[in-house]
Protein backbone atom coordinates (compact mmCIF):
# COMPACT_ATOMS: atom_id res chain seq x y z
CA UNK A 1 0.00 0.00 0.00
CA UNK A 2 1.30 3.47 -0.95
CA UNK A 3 2.51 5.56 1.99
CA UNK A 4 0.98 9.04 2.28
CA UNK A 5 2.89 11.76 4.12
CA UNK A 6 2.08 15.25 5.33
CA UNK A 7 4.25 17.78 3.47
CA UNK A 8 3.11 21.12 4.87
CA UNK A 9 0.11 22.83 6.43
CA UNK A 10 -1.49 26.10 7.44
CA UNK A 11 -4.08 27.28 9.94
CA UNK A 12 -5.59 30.72 9.46
CA UNK A 13 -7.79 31.66 12.41
CA UNK A 14 -8.46 34.57 14.78
CA UNK A 15 -5.56 33.16 16.84
CA UNK A 16 -2.96 33.44 14.07
CA UNK A 17 -2.06 33.30 10.38
CA UNK A 18 0.20 30.27 10.49
CA UNK A 19 0.19 26.84 12.11
CA UNK A 20 3.11 27.79 14.36
CA UNK A 21 1.36 30.95 15.56
CA UNK A 22 -1.82 29.03 16.30
CA UNK A 23 -0.11 26.25 18.25
CA UNK A 24 1.86 28.80 20.27
CA UNK A 25 -1.36 30.56 21.28
CA UNK A 26 -3.07 27.29 22.21
CA UNK A 27 -0.10 26.21 24.34
CA UNK A 28 -0.54 29.45 26.29
CA UNK A 29 -4.22 28.68 26.86
CA UNK A 30 -5.41 31.49 24.58
CA UNK A 31 -8.86 31.24 23.00
CA UNK A 32 -10.36 33.02 20.02
CA UNK A 33 -13.85 32.67 21.48
CA UNK A 34 -15.18 35.98 22.76
CA UNK A 35 -18.48 37.69 23.47
CA UNK A 36 -19.75 39.15 20.21
CA UNK A 37 -22.20 42.03 19.94
CA UNK A 38 -23.34 42.32 16.31
CA UNK A 39 -27.02 43.06 15.70
CA UNK A 40 -26.58 42.31 11.98
CA UNK A 41 -25.91 38.71 12.95
CA UNK A 42 -27.98 38.29 16.10
CA UNK A 43 -30.35 40.40 18.18
CA UNK A 44 -28.67 38.99 21.28
CA UNK A 45 -24.96 38.84 22.15
CA UNK A 46 -23.32 35.50 21.45
CA UNK A 47 -19.95 33.81 21.97
CA UNK A 48 -17.90 32.89 18.91
CA UNK A 49 -14.38 33.01 17.45
CA UNK A 50 -14.59 35.56 14.63
CA UNK A 51 -12.22 37.51 12.41
CA UNK A 52 -12.47 41.27 12.27
CA UNK A 53 -15.21 42.06 9.74
CA UNK A 54 -12.77 44.20 7.74
CA UNK A 55 -10.10 41.48 7.53
CA UNK A 56 -9.52 40.64 3.87
CA UNK A 57 -6.97 37.86 4.62
CA UNK A 58 -4.95 38.70 1.48
CA UNK A 59 -2.79 41.71 0.63
CA UNK A 60 -4.20 41.57 -2.90
CA UNK A 61 -7.24 40.13 -4.64
CA UNK A 62 -5.31 39.26 -7.76
CA UNK A 63 -7.49 41.76 -9.64
CA UNK A 64 -11.06 41.23 -10.73
CA UNK A 65 -12.17 37.64 -11.13
CA UNK A 66 -14.56 36.08 -13.60
CA UNK A 67 -17.44 34.40 -11.81
CA UNK A 68 -19.15 31.35 -13.25
CA UNK A 69 -21.91 33.66 -14.45
CA UNK A 70 -19.37 35.60 -16.52
CA UNK A 71 -19.65 38.74 -14.42
CA UNK A 72 -16.48 40.31 -13.01
CA UNK A 73 -16.22 40.71 -9.28
CA UNK A 74 -13.89 40.39 -6.31
CA UNK A 75 -13.26 37.16 -4.48
CA UNK A 76 -15.72 36.67 -1.65
CA UNK A 77 -14.67 36.63 1.97
CA UNK A 78 -14.87 32.81 2.00
CA UNK A 79 -12.75 32.52 -1.14
CA UNK A 80 -10.10 34.94 0.14
CA UNK A 81 -9.88 32.92 3.35
CA UNK A 82 -9.28 29.73 1.34
CA UNK A 83 -6.71 31.35 -0.94
CA UNK A 84 -4.73 32.86 1.94
CA UNK A 85 -4.51 29.50 3.73
CA UNK A 86 -3.55 27.54 0.62
CA UNK A 87 -0.95 30.13 -0.35
CA UNK A 88 0.90 29.83 2.96
CA UNK A 89 0.85 26.01 2.88
CA UNK A 90 2.11 25.69 -0.69
CA UNK A 91 4.79 28.34 -0.20
CA UNK A 92 5.99 26.70 3.03
CA UNK A 93 6.14 23.30 1.34
CA UNK A 94 7.72 24.57 -1.88
CA UNK A 95 4.80 23.11 -3.82
CA UNK A 96 4.42 23.60 -7.59
CA UNK A 97 0.64 23.88 -7.98
CA UNK A 98 0.91 23.37 -11.76
CA UNK A 99 2.08 19.78 -11.27
CA UNK A 100 -0.18 17.50 -13.38
CA UNK A 101 -0.01 14.83 -10.66
CA UNK A 102 -1.58 17.15 -8.09
CA UNK A 103 -5.22 17.64 -7.03
CA UNK A 104 -6.94 20.40 -5.04
CA UNK A 105 -9.68 19.26 -2.64
CA UNK A 106 -11.92 21.85 -0.95
CA UNK A 107 -14.05 21.12 2.12
CA UNK A 108 -16.80 23.39 3.44
CA UNK A 109 -20.30 23.15 4.81
CA UNK A 110 -21.61 26.63 3.96
CA UNK A 111 -19.22 28.25 1.49
CA UNK A 112 -20.67 31.50 0.14
CA UNK A 113 -24.01 31.08 1.90
CA UNK A 114 -23.52 34.51 3.50
CA UNK A 115 -24.46 35.97 0.09
CA UNK A 116 -28.00 34.82 0.81
CA UNK A 117 -30.27 37.81 1.06
CA UNK A 118 -27.72 40.28 -0.31
CA UNK A 119 -28.78 40.08 -3.95
CA UNK A 120 -31.88 41.52 -5.61
CA UNK A 121 -34.20 39.66 -7.97
CA UNK A 122 -32.16 40.60 -11.01
CA UNK A 123 -29.07 38.91 -9.56
CA UNK A 124 -30.62 35.55 -8.66
CA UNK A 125 -29.06 33.65 -11.55
CA UNK A 126 -25.64 35.00 -10.58
CA UNK A 127 -26.27 34.07 -6.95
CA UNK A 128 -27.27 30.50 -7.81
CA UNK A 129 -23.92 29.97 -9.50
CA UNK A 130 -21.76 31.95 -7.08
CA UNK A 131 -23.17 30.20 -4.01
CA UNK A 132 -22.34 26.75 -5.45
CA UNK A 133 -19.26 25.30 -3.76
CA UNK A 134 -17.76 24.16 -7.05
CA UNK A 135 -17.65 27.78 -8.24
CA UNK A 136 -15.41 28.80 -5.33
CA UNK A 137 -13.26 25.69 -5.78
CA UNK A 138 -12.79 26.52 -9.47
CA UNK A 139 -11.77 30.10 -8.64
CA UNK A 140 -9.22 28.95 -6.04
CA UNK A 141 -7.83 26.35 -8.46
CA UNK A 142 -7.55 29.00 -11.18
CA UNK A 143 -5.79 31.42 -8.82
CA UNK A 144 -2.98 28.91 -8.18
CA UNK A 145 -2.91 27.38 -11.65
CA UNK A 146 -3.92 23.83 -10.70
CA UNK A 147 -4.03 21.71 -13.85
CA UNK A 148 -6.70 19.25 -12.73
CA UNK A 149 -10.31 20.17 -11.89
CA UNK A 150 -10.76 20.52 -8.12
CA UNK A 151 -12.87 18.21 -5.98
CA UNK A 152 -15.39 19.47 -3.40
CA UNK A 153 -16.22 17.53 -0.23
CA UNK A 154 -19.20 18.76 1.80
CA UNK A 155 -20.37 16.25 4.38
CA UNK A 156 -21.59 18.31 7.33
CA UNK A 157 -19.08 18.55 10.19
CA UNK A 158 -16.93 15.62 9.06
CA UNK A 159 -16.11 17.45 5.80
CA UNK A 160 -12.49 18.20 6.77
CA UNK A 161 -11.63 14.61 7.69
CA UNK A 162 -13.58 13.26 4.72
CA UNK A 163 -11.49 15.52 2.46
CA UNK A 164 -8.24 14.20 3.98
CA UNK A 165 -9.42 10.63 3.40
CA UNK A 166 -10.38 11.51 -0.18
CA UNK A 167 -6.88 12.89 -0.77
CA UNK A 168 -5.28 9.82 0.79
CA UNK A 169 -7.34 7.50 -1.42
CA UNK A 170 -6.61 9.49 -4.58
CA UNK A 171 -2.89 9.18 -3.88
CA UNK A 172 -3.06 5.48 -3.04
CA UNK A 173 -4.98 4.82 -6.24
CA UNK A 174 -1.99 6.18 -8.19
CA UNK A 175 -4.09 8.85 -9.89
CA UNK A 176 -2.23 11.66 -8.11
CA UNK A 177 1.02 11.96 -6.17
CA UNK A 178 0.12 15.09 -4.20
CA UNK A 179 -3.13 16.47 -2.77
CA UNK A 180 -3.69 20.00 -1.47
CA UNK A 181 -6.63 19.82 0.92
CA UNK A 182 -8.18 23.10 2.04
CA UNK A 183 -11.21 23.74 4.23
CA UNK A 184 -12.91 26.92 5.37
CA UNK A 185 -16.14 28.36 6.70
CA UNK A 186 -17.29 31.76 7.87
CA UNK A 187 -20.06 32.66 10.30
CA UNK A 188 -23.07 34.62 9.05
CA UNK A 189 -26.55 35.42 10.32
CA UNK A 190 -27.84 32.47 8.29
CA UNK A 191 -25.42 30.03 9.93
CA UNK A 192 -25.83 31.38 13.46
CA UNK A 193 -29.64 31.49 13.31
CA UNK A 194 -29.71 27.89 12.13
CA UNK A 195 -27.87 26.65 15.22
CA UNK A 196 -29.91 28.99 17.42
CA UNK A 197 -33.09 27.38 16.08
CA UNK A 198 -31.78 24.06 17.40
CA UNK A 199 -31.07 25.74 20.75
CA UNK A 200 -27.54 24.46 20.27
CA UNK A 201 -25.63 27.70 20.94
CA UNK A 202 -24.10 28.12 24.39
CA UNK A 203 -24.81 31.46 26.12
CA UNK A 204 -21.16 31.49 27.30
CA UNK A 205 -17.89 29.71 26.60
CA UNK A 206 -18.46 26.11 25.52
CA UNK A 207 -17.50 23.27 27.91
CA UNK A 208 -16.67 20.04 26.04
CA UNK A 209 -17.51 16.86 28.00
CA UNK A 210 -18.26 18.93 31.11
CA UNK A 211 -21.21 18.38 33.43
CA UNK A 212 -22.38 21.95 32.80
CA UNK A 213 -22.01 21.89 29.01
CA UNK A 214 -24.87 23.62 27.23
CA UNK A 215 -24.01 24.02 23.56
CA UNK A 216 -21.48 25.09 20.98
CA UNK A 217 -19.62 28.25 20.10
CA UNK A 218 -19.22 28.84 16.37
CA UNK A 219 -15.89 29.80 14.83
CA UNK A 220 -14.34 31.06 11.59
CA UNK A 221 -11.15 29.67 10.14
CA UNK A 222 -9.34 27.84 7.38
CA UNK A 223 -6.94 24.94 7.29
CA UNK A 224 -4.78 23.51 4.51
CA UNK A 225 -2.96 20.18 4.54
CA UNK A 226 -0.64 19.03 1.73
CA UNK A 227 -0.26 15.26 1.32
CA UNK A 228 2.18 13.40 -0.93
CA UNK A 229 3.47 9.91 -1.68
CA UNK A 230 6.85 11.17 -2.85
CA UNK A 231 9.82 9.59 -1.14
CA UNK A 232 11.47 12.90 -0.23
CA UNK A 233 8.68 13.54 2.28
CA UNK A 234 8.94 10.14 4.00
CA UNK A 235 10.46 11.54 7.19
CA UNK A 236 7.26 13.33 8.15
CA UNK A 237 3.93 12.40 9.68
CA UNK A 238 2.19 9.56 7.84
CA UNK A 239 -1.57 9.24 7.31
CA UNK A 240 -2.21 5.59 8.15
CA UNK A 241 -5.91 5.03 7.61
CA UNK A 242 -9.42 6.34 8.05
CA UNK A 243 -13.05 5.36 7.91
CA UNK A 244 -16.52 6.90 7.55
CA UNK A 245 -19.83 5.53 8.82
CA UNK A 246 -23.42 6.68 9.26
CA UNK A 247 -25.82 6.27 12.17
CA UNK A 248 -28.94 6.02 9.96
CA UNK A 249 -30.64 7.28 13.10
CA UNK A 250 -31.83 10.90 12.78
CA UNK A 251 -31.29 14.04 10.69
CA UNK A 252 -29.76 16.04 13.54
CA UNK A 253 -29.58 13.82 16.65
CA UNK A 254 -26.59 11.45 16.99
CA UNK A 255 -26.73 7.73 17.70
CA UNK A 256 -27.90 6.72 21.17
CA UNK A 257 -25.24 4.01 21.47
CA UNK A 258 -22.11 5.32 19.74
CA UNK A 259 -21.79 2.00 17.92
CA UNK A 260 -21.53 3.64 14.50
CA UNK A 261 -18.68 6.01 15.41
CA UNK A 262 -17.08 3.02 17.14
CA UNK A 263 -17.26 1.17 13.81
CA UNK A 264 -15.38 4.03 12.11
CA UNK A 265 -12.74 4.02 14.83
CA UNK A 266 -12.33 0.25 14.69
CA UNK A 267 -12.02 0.24 10.90
CA UNK A 268 -9.51 3.10 10.97
CA UNK A 269 -7.32 1.38 13.56
CA UNK A 270 -7.48 -1.92 11.72
CA UNK A 271 -6.61 -0.22 8.42
CA UNK A 272 -3.59 1.37 10.07
CA UNK A 273 -2.43 -1.89 11.61
CA UNK A 274 -3.03 -0.54 15.12
CA UNK A 275 -4.88 -1.68 18.22
CA UNK A 276 -6.48 0.52 20.89
CA UNK A 277 -3.34 0.19 23.04
CA UNK A 278 -1.25 1.81 20.27
CA UNK A 279 -3.18 5.11 20.37
CA UNK A 280 -1.28 7.74 22.35
CA UNK A 281 -3.93 10.47 22.31
CA UNK A 282 -7.28 11.34 20.76
CA UNK A 283 -8.42 14.61 19.23
CA UNK A 284 -12.17 14.34 19.74
CA UNK A 285 -14.96 16.21 17.98
CA UNK A 286 -16.13 17.39 21.43
CA UNK A 287 -18.71 19.99 20.42
CA UNK A 288 -19.94 20.57 24.02
CA UNK A 289 -23.52 19.70 23.14
CA UNK A 290 -25.22 17.27 25.52
CA UNK A 291 -25.88 14.55 22.98
CA UNK A 292 -22.72 14.68 20.83
CA UNK A 293 -20.34 14.42 23.78
CA UNK A 294 -22.37 11.61 25.34
CA UNK A 295 -22.38 9.66 22.08
CA UNK A 296 -18.67 10.22 21.52
CA UNK A 297 -17.83 9.04 25.03
CA UNK A 298 -19.84 5.87 24.44
CA UNK A 299 -18.07 5.27 21.12
CA UNK A 300 -14.59 5.70 22.62
CA UNK A 301 -15.50 3.38 25.50
CA UNK A 302 -16.84 0.74 23.09
CA UNK A 303 -13.51 1.08 21.25
CA UNK A 304 -11.57 0.41 24.50
CA UNK A 305 -10.08 3.91 24.38
CA UNK A 306 -11.56 5.32 27.58
CA UNK A 307 -8.17 5.52 29.32
CA UNK A 308 -6.34 7.23 26.42
CA UNK A 309 -5.72 11.00 26.84
CA UNK A 310 -8.34 12.93 24.88
CA UNK A 311 -8.89 16.60 24.13
CA UNK A 312 -11.34 18.84 22.32
CA UNK A 313 -10.19 22.07 20.68
CA UNK A 314 -13.65 23.66 20.41
CA UNK A 315 -12.98 25.87 23.45
CA UNK A 316 -10.15 27.55 21.53
CA UNK A 317 -11.60 27.81 18.01
CA UNK A 318 -15.31 27.29 18.45
CA UNK A 319 -16.86 24.93 15.91
CA UNK A 320 -15.36 25.87 12.54
CA UNK A 321 -17.70 23.52 10.64
CA UNK A 322 -16.11 22.37 7.33
CA UNK A 323 -12.68 23.53 8.50
CA UNK A 324 -12.84 21.83 11.92
CA UNK A 325 -11.53 18.42 10.90
CA UNK A 326 -8.57 19.99 9.09
CA UNK A 327 -7.67 22.57 11.74
CA UNK A 328 -7.88 20.01 14.55
CA UNK A 329 -5.89 17.43 12.57
CA UNK A 330 -3.14 19.98 11.90
CA UNK A 331 -2.94 20.92 15.58
CA UNK A 332 -2.78 17.22 16.48
CA UNK A 333 0.09 16.76 14.01
CA UNK A 334 1.92 19.53 15.85
CA UNK A 335 1.19 17.74 19.13
CA UNK A 336 2.85 14.60 17.75
CA UNK A 337 5.87 16.56 16.61
CA UNK A 338 6.26 18.33 19.94
CA UNK A 339 5.18 15.40 22.17
CA UNK A 340 2.66 17.73 23.79
CA UNK A 341 -1.09 17.20 24.23
CA UNK A 342 -3.17 20.34 24.74
CA UNK A 343 -5.79 20.58 27.49
CA UNK A 344 -9.53 20.75 26.88
CA UNK A 345 -10.43 24.38 27.52
CA UNK A 346 -13.69 24.73 29.45
CA UNK A 347 -13.69 21.26 30.98
CA UNK A 348 -13.92 21.10 34.78
CA UNK A 349 -16.11 18.18 35.86
CA UNK A 350 -16.85 14.90 34.06
CA UNK A 351 -20.26 15.16 32.46
CA UNK A 352 -20.60 12.02 30.35
CA UNK A 353 -21.97 8.65 31.46
CA UNK A 354 -18.87 6.80 30.26
CA UNK A 355 -15.91 8.69 31.81
CA UNK A 356 -12.96 9.56 29.58
CA UNK A 357 -9.37 10.59 30.28
CA UNK A 358 -9.91 14.26 29.45
CA UNK A 359 -6.71 16.33 29.31
CA UNK A 360 -7.01 19.20 31.79
CA UNK A 361 -3.46 20.53 31.52
CA UNK A 362 -0.54 20.43 29.09
CA UNK A 363 0.56 16.80 28.87
CA UNK A 364 4.16 16.15 27.88
CA UNK A 365 4.76 12.53 26.84
CA UNK A 366 6.32 10.48 24.03
CA UNK A 367 3.71 10.44 21.24
CA UNK A 368 3.58 8.40 18.05
CA UNK A 369 -0.02 7.64 17.04
CA UNK A 370 -3.06 9.91 17.10
CA UNK A 371 -6.75 9.24 16.46
CA UNK A 372 -8.95 12.09 15.20
CA UNK A 373 -12.74 11.74 15.31
CA UNK A 374 -15.68 13.78 14.04
CA UNK A 375 -19.44 13.47 13.74
CA UNK A 376 -22.10 15.61 12.09
CA UNK A 377 -25.68 16.19 11.05
CA UNK A 378 -27.21 13.38 9.06
CA UNK A 379 -25.55 10.85 11.36
CA UNK A 380 -22.15 10.95 9.64
CA UNK A 381 -19.04 9.86 11.54
CA UNK A 382 -15.36 9.83 10.61
CA UNK A 383 -12.11 8.62 12.15
CA UNK A 384 -8.55 9.29 10.98
CA UNK A 385 -5.30 7.75 12.24
CA UNK A 386 -1.87 9.27 11.67
CA UNK A 387 1.58 8.47 12.98
CA UNK A 388 5.01 10.00 13.57
CA UNK A 389 7.77 8.19 11.68
β-strand pairing of 363-364 with 237-246:
unpaired
Which pLDDT belongs to residue 30?
Answer: 98
Pick the last residue of a domain from 217, 233, 249. Answer: 233
**23/17 Cα distance (integer angstroms):** 11
Q: Which residues pair with 364 in a beta bridge?
A: 340
Whether 127 and 8 share a structural domain: yes
| Model pLDDT, residue 58 | 87
| Per-residue confidence (pLDDT) for residue 261, from 0 to 100 | 98
Can you give the CATH number for the domain in which 308 is found? 3.40.47.10
pLDDT at 67: 39
Print the domain residue range for 213: 4-233
Residues 85 and 225 in one domain: yes
How many domains, the chain? 2
For range 166-187, the mean pLDDT: 98
For residue 268, the SS3 value is: helix
Is residue 154 predicted with pLDDT exceeding 80? yes
- Summarised one tens digit per residue, pLDDT across range 239-270 is 999 999 999 888 888 889 999 999 999 999 99
**Using one digit for the tens of pLDDT, what is the confidence trace for 185-214?**
999 999 999 999 989 999 999 999 999 999
| Nearest Cα to Cα of residue 333 among 202, 225, 242 | 225
Amino acid sequence: MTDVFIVSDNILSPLGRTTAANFSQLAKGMSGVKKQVDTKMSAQPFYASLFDREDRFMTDDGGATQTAAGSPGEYTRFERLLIASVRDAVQTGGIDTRDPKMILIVSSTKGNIDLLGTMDKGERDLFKKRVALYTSADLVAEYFGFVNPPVVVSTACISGIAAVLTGMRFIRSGRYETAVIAGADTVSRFVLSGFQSFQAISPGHCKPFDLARDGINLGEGAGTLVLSSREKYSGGIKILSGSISNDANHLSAPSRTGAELCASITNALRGGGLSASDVDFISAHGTATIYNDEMEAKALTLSNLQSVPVNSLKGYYGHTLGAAGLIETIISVQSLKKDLVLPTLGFEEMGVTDPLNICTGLLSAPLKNCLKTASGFGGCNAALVFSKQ
